[in-house]
Structure 1
Amino acid sequence: MDSLFHYINKYASTLMSEEDFKVFRSHFIQKRIRKKQYLLAEGEICKHMAFIAKGAMRKYYIDEKGVEHIVDLYIENWWAGDRESFVMFTPSVYHIDAWEDCEVLLISRENTLKLCKECPAFNELLLKLDERNNIATQKRITSSISFTAEKRYADFVDCHPYFVQRFPQHIIASYLGITKDTLSRVRKKALKK
């Protein structure tokens, strides 16, 4: 819970007191998720968003040919979930599983809405997260339709150097929309520079 308290105060202009945080944390459920265990499976409705206190997760979908496509990667101090399913109450098209053993803090849609009304710092956090998510999505779309594999990988390493240490090449390649062989070639080329 301490990591969530510091995370919120990092992004909020109005700091949350320890007393306010006691009320705040009552809206969350602590949970451990073992490596390879699902937070969300395709077809389920995303009933909780998860703040990752410890560990790493991945979000992916499986196409009609059975090929896995990585959509998002998450580590400590990141939020995991399927926003569309969470907001619209629709079955998810994604799987989210633990890549490492994880400790998460879960919040329901109902408690999210309550906290938005009761806690200005949380509401401010959600607005900032939405802004950052929109910016990241735009950059990712531009990258996938315009950049070479070399440029995509270079940008990925610049923006997320910690992912390179936590996820294997085939996961990173899928996230970048390239093959594992292409990623291997790009990495060798980058090391020579």
Structure 2
Amino acid sequence: MNSSASWFKTVGAWRQLPQYLLHLASSRTLTLSSATALGTSDTVLWSELARKVPGRSNKDCRKRWWNTLAGGKIKGVWSPEEDKRLSEAVREHGNNWTQIASLVGSRCADQCSSHWRQVLRPDVSYCNWTEQEDEELLKAVQTHGTNWSAIAAFHDPPRTGLSLKNRYTRIRAKGESAAPSVL
């Protein structure tokens, strides 16, 4: 086994060994009830935990715990009730995703933030795309490349970066136009 800490660190996913070590370390250091009571503010605890999981920061460990190992969180499609709770929580707490997640109850802070930004934001258009929008999107990609945030900043009607990326990919796949291959 490679003793280098970089062996443990992977891009985009946790390998089985670090997850096991985190689970083992966390089962000895904190229980779900004590983690819930501590919230995410006890950086000393997460730093101590991170020292037991080579190649992972305290933030990596904390997010992994809350997003997958702590349990009680739903994955997949959001229910209308969850959407309603999320909308109400955002109105009340702005962008405090930890507080919002505690009010939603069934989702972690990252899920709440992502769902709000990509699905529920009232300032973003979710209507069908027009041919004119498709043409403008293709021109924007020629100018800005695949910097979806930059394209989203001036796109009218407002669309999310993910929506723009998905539409561009769909246009290219269908061959609806001579979309330049910049992906």
| TM-score, with length taken from structure 1 | 0.24
- Of structures 1 and 2, the one scoring higher in RCO (CA 8 A, sep 6+) is 1
Is the helix fraction higher in 1 or 2?
2
| Structure of higher CA gyration radius | 2
Is the strand fraction higher in 1 or 2?
1
| TM-score, with length taken from structure 2 | 0.25
